[in-house]
Chain A
């Protein structure tokens, strides 16, 4: 009976759906596409991707020969390959077809009231039970009704029959999830066509514009005319010297230099202005400013470990001067190395702003110039994407709710008692449903003494 209903509704659902679209509405196709996409993504996770980690990483991981082959055949850029994009396109068509043909019409069918079924229809259900009681039919039905209501069932009934359901919202799960997935595709498409992003390492007091932004080839967006100035930037450490947080104070400036907004950002705390978000993504010491006899020089710093940075200044062919830096507020140690010395020798320690004479030269450590790594992006489809996330989450949560449908027919007997037939459907939690039904029977047996042991007529007792 249940199959007959679903077959009818299936043929009704097919009405009005274009044939070409319905050809794509196959669950087997869905599963095949999911498996192919999963396999492709798995390969993408295994092979470093050029777009994310760079071509060098591919060569470094697999060697020059095999790496070159992976690059040549598009494995190292698999998410932009026609094969992967084709799979996504086909899945989109499949999802639209399934949604139009099967998923969305379910919402309409849910609005219809449950039919009140007769004894023989209920007896065919996989979960059913029957019993005879000495009590009048209406009394037994009322008891069933009140017990079901107390367990949260929505009940509709006539004199001798009853239909009840629980967790109807669970049936909405596929509809809501599919709407969410389609919205996600829309949001991503809008971002791809109008959004942009990029990264710049900006020194203290430096200015960043958006001229070097990255965006898709098919692009309808516009780059901002304003720029960002780094007013201050610093690193906060734990007691052991490890980085705890990085901070940058940024000013949004227009083409006339007017400050439009000012904010301190840190990791997980970005600045947002006119739809563009700027993130603190990395931090480092860029250079050291040192004066020699009053002449200022900026020497680039190189990271030598988790804490130490160093600048190297060749004095002649054999002599190198080195400035070792431990942190922004720490003094700088000055070393020198000549071929005759097995190891560099420390010459002096410089406090900030205090000159020291080394031979004939007066050396002064003026400043450390940090560099802040700023990531930025403009994502006009974000609102739709976030709404899609909400729909998808709601949909998958509802999918865990089991929808239970239950029918009861109470037939009055000539002897004055009645015969109760109760059955139902629960596709997601059949065992629990069976247990609940058995419990209901036990309670009814306690309330109304059963007349005799009912002969097995339901599949449940076969």
Chain B
């Protein structure tokens, strides 16, 4: 990675942190609310431009489309979250969402920055990735994940605007349990089943009790106009993300058919993408046919966000395997031991080199 690319990436990361603070303080301060919101937005624009430059430079340096490992996909994800927020801020008054969008971008920058150096280095592609399909299949998926994340964050603001604070806290706890499992799976050697239990159990418990809270207690007050607007933002984000996810899944099928002779092989990552697709298909059916309230729809959107997290990062960090292990960065001993060459591995090290 060149110094210029590093500087651009760092600028984007620092900008996301700065805009988070600007948006967060703007929500707390009535006096400086307007000015700080503008500052937050301006800093986010700077970060977005810097990150665009960083991704383009990485493409030039690697002489290929810069989306081939987990680190590069995290850069794309942060770029898409920032871009999507800026896009929505043109049509909607989404200043209450700014700190969450910036925090998400900053978190993913942090996650990417402490990955092993091998992830940051520009490396040659494995044979399976040497295809024009890579640039057709992967970007729609990453952008769709970002749209679903933004939709999920807007759903939190919708619930908060509708004075469903307990549901917000419980659903947030569920999401944080999922994120904690991903972080532990990435940076520690915690048992996979413990991590899977923490992710699934934590998020189910959090979102389940948040749902129960909606049914059991009436909201006392709330800003209906704002809640309605964020409900629409959730829907718009999903209606942009859903076609992109569909395109990503289908182009993945076309690529798999061109490379392996099968457009669907029930690979865990494929299956998880289908689960995410089905969850958003359920959301769209519920929304179009007015089958439940805006608050329940927000919880469905948050569930979709958790499934998106599981599909995108949980797959690599919670011990799943399959054909989509390009994002995996641990040189896992278990992976080598699963191979029949294990008994000859030591021999090759000591005898033949």
**Residue positions of A touching B, CB distance < 8 A:** 27-28, 30-31, 34-35, 37-38, 41-42, 44-46, 48-49, 51-53, 60, 79, 174, 197, 238, 240, 242-246, 266-268, 270, 277-279, 281, 302-305, 308, 310, 322, 324, 333, 335, 337, 343-344, 375-377, 379, 382, 385-386, 389, 392-393, 396-397, 399-400, 427-432, 435
User: Is the pair A41, B91 in contact by a Cβ cutoff of 8 Å?
Assistant: no
User: Is the pair A396, B243 in contact by a Cβ cutoff of 8 Å?
Assistant: yes
User: Is the pair A343, B345 in contact by a Cβ cutoff of 8 Å?
Assistant: no
User: Is the pair A197, B261 in contact by a Cβ cutoff of 8 Å?
Assistant: yes
User: Is the pair B281, A34 in contact by a Cβ cutoff of 8 Å?
Assistant: yes
Show 13 residue pairs from A and B whose CB-CB distance is below 8 angstroms, ordered by the A residue. Answer: A31-B282, A44-B266, A45-B268, A53-B321, A242-B124, A267-B259, A270-B261, A310-B348, A389-B250, A393-B250, A396-B246, A399-B239, A430-B232
User: Is the pair A42, B272 in contact by a Cβ cutoff of 8 Å?
Assistant: yes
Q: Which of A27, A242, A344, A375 makes the CB contact (< 8 A) with B261?
A: A375
User: Is the pair B246, A41 in contact by a Cβ cutoff of 8 Å?
Assistant: no
Q: Which of B127, B260, B269 makes the CB contact (< 8 A) with A246?
A: B127
In the complex with contacts A302-B344, A429-B232, A48-B266 CB distance below 8 A: no
Whether B32 is near chain A, meaning CB under 8 Å from some CB there, is no
Whether B291 is near chain A, meaning CB under 8 Å from some CB there, is yes
Whether B267 is near chain A, meaning CB under 8 Å from some CB there, is yes
Q: Which of A245, A310, A333 makes the CB contact (< 8 A) with B130?
A: A245
User: Is the pair A429, B275 in contact by a Cβ cutoff of 8 Å?
Assistant: no
Q: Which of B92, B260, B341 makes the CB contact (< 8 A) with A279?
A: B260
Q: Which of B133, B258, B348 makes the CB contact (< 8 A) with A304?
A: B348
User: Is the pair B282, A34 in contact by a Cβ cutoff of 8 Å?
Assistant: yes
CB contacts (< 8 Å) of B232 on chain A: these are 429-431
User: Is the pair B91, A432 in contact by a Cβ cutoff of 8 Å?
Assistant: yes
User: Is the pair A38, B268 in contact by a Cβ cutoff of 8 Å?
Assistant: no
* Chain A proximity mask over B252-263: 1 for CB below 8 Å, otherwise 0: 011101111111
User: Is the pair B266, A79 in contact by a Cβ cutoff of 8 Å?
Assistant: yes
Apart from A35-B282, A399-B284: 9 A-B pairs, beta carbons within 8 A: A27-B285, A34-B279, A45-B320, A197-B262, A240-B124, A268-B258, A308-B352, A322-B351, A389-B250
CB contacts (< 8 Å) of A304 on chain B: these are 341, 344-345, 347-348, 352
Give chain A's interface secondary structure class.
mixed
CA distance A304 to B272 in the complex (A): 34
Whether B89 is near chain A, meaning CB under 8 Å from some CB there, is no
- Rounded to whole Å, the gap between the CB of B328 and the closest CB of chain A is 16
Q: Please, how many residues of chain B have a CB less than 8 angstroms from a CB on the other chain? A: 66
Nearest A residue (CB) for B128: A267
- Rounded to whole Å, the gap between the CB of B123 and the closest CB of chain A is 9
CA distance A6 to B262 in the complex (A): 43
User: Is the pair A428, B235 in contact by a Cβ cutoff of 8 Å?
Assistant: yes
**Residue positions of B touching A, CB distance < 8 A:** 91-92, 124-128, 130-131, 133, 196, 228-229, 232, 235-236, 239-240, 242-243, 246-247, 250, 253-255, 257-263, 265-269, 271-272, 274-275, 278-279, 281-282, 284-286, 288-289, 291, 320-322, 338, 341, 344-345, 347-353
Nearest B residue (CB) for A426: B232
User: Is the pair A34, B278 in contact by a Cβ cutoff of 8 Å?
Assistant: yes
CB contacts (< 8 Å) of A344 on chain B: these are 351-352
- Rounded to whole Å, the gap between the CB of B302 and the closest CB of chain A is 15
User: Is the pair B126, A243 in contact by a Cβ cutoff of 8 Å?
Assistant: yes
CA distance A41 to B278 in the complex (A): 10
CB contacts (< 8 Å) of A281 on chain B: these are 260-261
CB contacts (< 8 Å) of A399 on chain B: these are 239, 242-243, 284
User: Is the pair B271, A45 in contact by a Cβ cutoff of 8 Å?
Assistant: yes
CA distance A315 to B258 in the complex (A): 47
User: Is the pair B284, A308 in contact by a Cβ cutoff of 8 Å?
Assistant: no
CA distance A343 to B133 in the complex (A): 48
In the complex with contacts A243-B127, A268-B259, A322-B351, A38-B275 CB distance below 8 A: yes
Q: Which of B124, B228, B243 makes the CB contact (< 8 A) with A397?
A: B243
User: Is the pair B275, A45 in contact by a Cβ cutoff of 8 Å?
Assistant: yes
- Rounded to whole Å, the gap between the CB of A78 and the closest CB of chain B is 9
CA distance A75 to B11 in the complex (A): 48
CB contacts (< 8 Å) of A389 on chain B: these are 250, 253-254
CA distance A79 to B264 in the complex (A): 12
User: Is the pair A34, B285 in contact by a Cβ cutoff of 8 Å?
Assistant: yes
Q: Which 10 A-B pairs have the closest CB atoms?
A: A304-B348, A45-B271, A38-B278, A377-B261, A396-B243, A268-B131, A45-B268, A34-B282, A324-B352, A267-B127
